[in-house]
Structure 1
Amino acid sequence: MKKKISVLLSIIMMLTFALAGCGGQKAEEETPATEEAKLKVALVVAGGLGDRSFYDSSNEGFDKAKAELGVEGSVFECKNDPGLYTDQMINAAQTSDVIIAVGFEFDQTLKEVAPQFPDKKFIYIDNVIEGIDNLTSIDYMENEGAFLAGALAALESESGKIGMVGGADIPVIRNFRAGYEAGAKYVNPDVQIEVIFAESFEDPAKGKESALALYSKGVDIIFQVAGKTGEGVFEAAKDVNKKAIGVDSDQRYINPDVIVASMIKGVGLSVYESLEKIQNGTFESGTVYKYGTNENGVDIGYGTEDMPQLVSEETKAKIQELKEKISSKEITVPEV
């Protein structure tokens, strides 16, 4: 009798282990594979989105990276308030793997914040800081693009007087000016060039006031290098029936009747390419990436094909020829 009970217990135990094994296998099969962690990115802009220029271009590159590379993250706006620069940069670093700082204003902030987060990658757009291992700079050769804009302005001007409205008298804008003046003088040594600094990148009213002052001097085409302030330049051009050249993005869509072309700065391109390099393991932290004519970092845009073209095909060909000469180093563009 005891032997029968013992055999029965053995059978029960074997069945119990078998069922447990089956159950464990089933649970393992039903457990979904862990999704690969997505790269978390923060775009920190010194100003704000909606400028239809510099900051919006950076966000376009960010949006493209989200759609095509699968990165995720958000935008931190500082609205040109220096009191927000450090806080927003720290907030971004605490929540992200990669922090893209857009704007020359972040120079001191990055020098202080980046070393506090050595395991995070910081990318500085439109300025250069060297000597910090986890901080990479993106430097645009805006002088090369401005050279093309200056040549275009001089070729398109009927009065022989052209102008430029800058957002502020700072190094990056002075570099625009150097290229603009060199390009204009290259195609017309006798051209007269007038420049005004509006002292703001966020004030269209100041942009309009500055542009009207230049137009009143006989200037008939103005290159705006002033962010959102530049929208006032376009308004002034419309009011007095003169011409303008946009900046950073192809801005012809804003008013294709007065904006003849735009000097495009590949901000969005550099943002996208940087994130792509991080994902494929070719990104070099602590270095400087330069974007000039050879890297499609600067160019001239004439709007879409459905817009009325205000620049002749002959002039476009001349600008393309100048671009190729810059790329081949036949023309050396001055910089400051």
Structure 2
Amino acid sequence: MKFRRLSIVLFLLLAACNLPALSGCARRDVLCVGLVTSYGGVDDHGLNQSAWEGVQQALDEGLIHRADFIATVDARDRAKNIQTFLLDGYDLVVTVGLGLEEDTRLAADEWPNRGFVGVDQPPGEPRRNLAVVTFPEDQGGFLAGALAALVTQTGKAAALCETKGIHSMWRYCEGFRVGVHYANPDLRGRVMYKEDGSPSELFNDPQWGEKQARYMLDQGVDILFAAGGGTAQAALETAAAGGAYVIGADEDMYYQVKASDFVLSSAVKLAGPAVYALIRQAVFERSLPGEKRGEYALGPYHSLERQVPPSVRERLEQIRRGLADGSIQTGVSSAP
């Protein structure tokens, strides 16, 4: 009776913590992949979902036998969530987000015979059992700028980004500036960075985002792109509420902005193809490269689909392909 009661308690604890059930992954003939998010679930219309789709593709094609995920709720559980898969014998663990960078590297050192993929994490010191998926933010901004240039009615498109001291923000907004001019040489994209405030306000200064969005609206801007967490979301909310079209970054902001009918699109990170390719390489070549580059794409146009005619979509797709194959270069440096 005590054993049965203990088993029931264990099952409830596993379910409550969103952990995968015990498996046969410790067997040599069973290939298992586990995915851990830095925060949130795999239905976020963003990076988590895209990475999980890559894992699912590997499962659907029979490259692996089992795939599970742990959606992190508390940041303090990130390392423990990774360990859960490792202790249960999973062969490869995919971690998603910059917040898992250190925990992923520590786990790779502790478990040298297991494979790890860090999505949206910097390369750092190479490890033979760790690959990272990085993203060229300048290309994401470039796509957003091209879309803005091809749709704007006032000829005034702008971008707001966190401080240029964060190099990914620099690449995003400078990419936007270049993308606007590439798509329409008669236009110049307006770019504004947040250069003041305390470190505690990084990515979380909604007052600044609101203020600058209102300023842009007063200047006649009818399309606003913004990158930078809560700061950017506040800017997008304000601009959309004021009647401007907005373009989000990283994830599909249609599901985040209240006035969603004014979300033109978002520059989203496509992690799935890179995650799938790395799993395939791990299975067939028994190796993981140090770095794999992900790609950007424009998300759905949702309720504004009619504002983007077929000719514009075709042009944007040509630009996306050119960025992906290198025939189009943004010319944006990696840092200011």
Structure-2-length-normalised TM-score: 0.71
Deviation at 1:116, TM superposition (A): 0.8
Q: Is the 8 A contact 2:157 2:190 kept in 1?
A: yes
Correspondence 1:104-123 to 2 at 5 A:
104-123=98-117
Aligned to 2:308: 311
Say whether 1:299 aligns with 2:303: no
* Closer, same or farther: CA 54–166 of 1 in aligned 2, 3 Å: farther
Q: CA deviation at 1:41?
A: 1.5
| Contact kept? 1:208, 1:235, Cα under 8 Å | no
Name the structure 2 match of 1:129. Answer: 124
How far apart are residue 220 of structure 1 and its match?
2.6
Which sections of structure 1, spanning at least 5 residues, go unmatched?
1-34, 292-296
| C-alpha deviation, 1:315, in angstroms | 2.9
Instruction: Give distance in 1, aligned partners of 2:161 and 2:247.
Output: 10
Matched, 1:149 2:144: yes
Decide whether aligned partners of structure 1 residues 261 and 289 sit closer, same or farther in structure 2, where only a CA change above 3 A counts: same
**Does the residue aligned with 1:265 lie in a helix, a strand or coil?**
strand
Q: In structure 2, what is the equivalent of residue 89 of structure 1?
A: 82
**Residues 175 and 106 (structure 1 numbering): CA distance in 2 closer, same or farther, change over 3 Å?**
farther
Give the whole-Å Cα distance in 1 for the aligned partners of 2:286 and 2:235: 39
Using the alignment, how far apart are the partners of 1:299 and 1:223 within structure 2?
A: 15
Q: Does 1:52 align with 2:45?
A: yes
Shift of 1:162: 0.9
Distance 1:36 1:88, change over 3 A: closer
C-alpha distance in 2, partners of 1:209/1:71?
48
| Secondary structure of the structure 2 residue equivalent to 1:133 | coil
Give the corresponding residue for 1:273. Answer: 277
**1:126 to partner: Cα distance:** 1.4
Aligned residue in 1 for 2:287: 284
Tell me which residue corresponds to 1:42. Answer: 34
1:80/1:118 CA distance change after superposition, 3 Å: same
Give the SS at the match of 2:248. strand
SS in 2 for 1:241: coil
Q: Which has the larger radius of gyration?
A: 1
Mapping of residues 314-329 of structure 1, within 5 Å: 314-326=311-323, 327-329=325-327
Are positions 1:61 and 2:61 aligned together? no
Partner Cα distance (2:318, 2:188) in 1: 21
User: What is the CA-CA distance between 1:270 and the residue it aligns to?
Assistant: 2.0
Deviations 1:113-159 (A, max 9, x none): 21110110011111223421111121222322321211222333325
Q: Which moved more, 1:67-76 or 1:123-132?
A: 67-76
Comparing 258-267 and 53-62, the one that deviates more: 53-62
Cα offset, 1:194, TM superposition: 2.5
Match of 1:15 in 2: none
Structure 1 residues 42, 241: closer, same or farther in 2, change over 3 A? Answer: same
Counterpart contact for 2:236–2:246, Cα < 8 Å: yes
- What is the rounded CA distance, in whole Å, between the counterparts of 2:242 and 2:28 in structure 1? 57
Task: Report 1:234-249 matches (<5 A).
Answer: 235-249=237-251
Distance 1:192 1:303, change over 3 A: closer
Could you list the structure 1 runs, at least 4 aligned residues long, displaced by more than 4 angstroms after superposition.
165-169, 206-209, 226-234, 249-256
Q: Per the alignment, in what secondary structure is the counterpart of residue 217 of structure 1?
A: helix
